[in-house]
Structure 1
Amino acid sequence: MKLTKRLLMSVVALGIAGAVSGTAFAADTIAIITPSHDNPFFKAEADGAAAKAKELGYATMVLVHDDDANKQNELFDNAIAAGVKAIILDNAGADASVAAVKKAKDKGIPSFLIDREITTTGVAVSQIVSNNYQGAQLGAEEFVKLMGEKGNYAELVGKESDTNAGIRSQGYHDVIDQYSDLKSVAKQTANWSQTEAYTVMESILQAHPDIKGVISGNDTMAMGAYAALEAAGRKDVIVVGFDGSNDVRDSIKKGGIKATVLQPAYQQAQNAVVQADKFIKTGKTGLEEKQLMDCILINAANASKLETFALKP
């Protein structure tokens, strides 16, 4: 099957080296669509899925939607036109992605979601996500311990369109709110962005100079917050993240950020491809649509074992 002109333009515009593997789709192809690879979490997903697909004999089409639902819709159109056998997706919005996934299903192309859920069941074959509530509780328990069960703190929240942002925040508060001496003085979104988190943290520091801790909905925002705190000479402020990135691992090892929560991005993506392969060959996965993978607390005790969103033995 030849690469369509529209798809070729999309891949070139994305500027992703090696976005299409295999020879002009000579092999059956799996599309892998995620947010920007500038975030190492999403790059790990794409790398994990692509590696497993190649191992199983598939070509891959690796595309980026940049958290833009309209762009994601165009990429689905491209993947459908190219005749891919399955789509692995970390979506661009719980509500906004339903139509694209259903459109692929109606064309006989199954979708396997990772990391983020959509709000409808029965349109994707699998939705494999981290147990965000369990992970958030782990992070909150460590945060409470690090804070000595008292002090003013701020929370950085992810994108409102992302179900995970709300689940993590709820998990944090269900633990932290049990401690009356821990006071939330600010709760602001930084949209999963390191740059936004830096700016938001600067504003929070100005309004609340007595702040003692920051709990973040992901590691990228935690890195931005810590950079702002460091620039202000406030290394005394405790920062806890969520994701398990190598950047935060390195910060933990240097005594910077204190902890994070590992969600197994690489393994999730590989599991999705294995399930896609089984579905392509048999018409079923043998598993429930919604699947949770537990998270792991990362702190100074085990940070050295963390590598690319996976914990080494």
Structure 2
Amino acid sequence: MSRRTGALGVVGAVLAAVALSGCDRGGDTDLGLALSTMNNPFFVGIKAGAQAEADRRGVKINITDAQNDPTQQINQMETFTSQDVKAAIINPVDSDAAVPAVGVANRANVPVIAFDRGVNGGKVGSTIASDNVAGGRLAAKTLAESLGGKGKVAFLEGQAGTSAARERGQGFEEGIKKYPGIEVVARQPADFDRAKAMDVTTNMLQSHRDLGGIFAANDEMALGASKALGAKSGRDVKVVGFDGTPEGIDAVRNGTLTAVVAQQPELLGKQAVDWALKAARHQPLPKAVKVPVVLVTEKNAARFGG
């Protein structure tokens, strides 16, 4: 080995050591982000926010798509640990089924941050999510008041087993109890999916032709319900969604949806990266971080992107 080659090797080793000692400078910290799906505009927004923050901080991030398969998230977490990431971020397909995936990171001593949905086990440093309970209450209030406090409504539930579906349902139930003139005559999961929501709504309408309103636990289901309702959507039958996707806000703008409770997906993605970097530095973290939601109606929809 020449002196020059040996010197370069020493310099390279020193630079590598310096890189590993940092946390958010010069691309020297790798993060893994396991999304439940990217077949949904909301999660596309989260991905964009996370990637933008990683780029801003000079961090390399590996973003994966589980395609709503919990087994994929276990495999993805194994990939992250094999890449020696400094922290892993998970958006669980299912809050129970994500426990083994978190266990993979725990055994490798890789800190884990959960976002949008919680994990019902394992060691998670912090869970970052929209205030889903408050959002559910806001949706109930908005739907009830749009009907003048009287009428029959249906509830399209989200994917069973997710904390987001459970919390939005909890908030909606708590909120709707304040309106004794409102009767919830039907409720059924449509798994946060537009096509399923269209089918479920079509079946509900056959049994409840006098339905006055629908709360859908995400915008994709609200848009599916709107499709099933046709010309009645937003007019004869009030429809309230939850997410604030561009298409959902556009539907509010044109009156086919009554309102949506808007999350802030780019902010969720940004905060997930920020808290993961804090976890990588072993900084103390709060168990839960709640990101506020906002109500989008026809009156203020022009202020929102869509």
In the superposition, the TM-score normalised over structure 1's length comes to 0.85
8 A contact 1:32–1:50 mirrored in 2: no
8 A contact 1:244–1:263 mirrored in 2: yes
Residue 158 of structure 2 corresponds to: 158
After the TM superposition, list the runs of 4 or more consecutive aligned residues in structure 1 that deviate by more than 3 angstroms. 231-235
- Shift in Å at residue 131 of structure 1? 1.0
Q: How does 1:95-106 map to 2 (within 5 A)?
A: 95-106=96-107
Q: CA–CA distance in 2 between the matches of 1:46 and 1:251?
A: 23
Matched, 1:228 2:232: no
Residue 172 of structure 1 corresponds to: 172
Deviations 1:72-110 (A, max 9, x none): 111111111122222121111111112211220221211
What is the one-letter code of the residue matched to 1:161? G
Moved more, 170-179 or 202-211: 170-179
- Shift in Å at residue 208 of structure 1? 1.0
Q: CA–CA distance in 2 between the matches of 1:287 and 1:58?
A: 20
8 A contact 1:140–1:176 mirrored in 2: yes
8 A contact 2:213–2:238 mirrored in 1: yes
What is the one-letter code of the residue matched to 1:290? A
Percent of aligned pairs sharing the same letter: 30
| CA 1:97–1:233: 2 relative to 1, 3 Å | closer
Matched, 1:197 2:203: no
Q: CA–CA distance in 2 between the matches of 1:224 and 1:79?
A: 35
SS at structure 1 position matched to 2:285: coil
8 A contact 1:229–1:235 mirrored in 2: no
Residue 86 of structure 1 corresponds to: 87
Q: CA–CA distance in 2 between the matches of 1:189 and 1:255?
A: 25
Q: CA–CA distance in 1 between the matches of 2:258 and 2:301?
A: 10
8 A contact 1:115–1:265 mirrored in 2: no
Residue 13 of structure 1 corresponds to: none
Q: CA–CA distance in 1 between the matches of 2:36 and 2:95?
A: 13
If you compute each CA radius of gyration, which structure gives the higher value, 1 or 2? 2
SS at structure 1 position matched to 2:76: helix
| CA 1:50–1:234: 2 relative to 1, 3 Å | closer
For residue 293 of structure 1, the aligned residue among 286, 291, 294 is 291
SS at structure 1 position matched to 2:242: coil
Residue 283 of structure 1 corresponds to: 282
8 A contact 2:74–2:104 mirrored in 1: no
8 A contact 2:131–2:293 mirrored in 1: yes
Residue 50 of structure 2 corresponds to: 49
Deviations 1:58-77 (A, max 9, x none): 11211011221111111111
What residue ranges of structure 2 are gaps of 5+ in the alignment?
1-26
Residue 111 of structure 2 corresponds to: 110
What is the one-letter code of the residue matched to 1:301? K
RMSD across aligned positions (CA): 1.8
Matched, 1:266 2:290: no
What is the one-letter code of the residue matched to 1:168? R
Q: CA–CA distance in 2 between the matches of 1:101 and 1:192?
A: 23
Q: How many residues align?
A: 280
Residue 206 of structure 2 corresponds to: 206
Matched, 1:307 2:271: no
What residue ranges of structure 1 are gaps of 5+ in the alignment?
1-25, 309-313
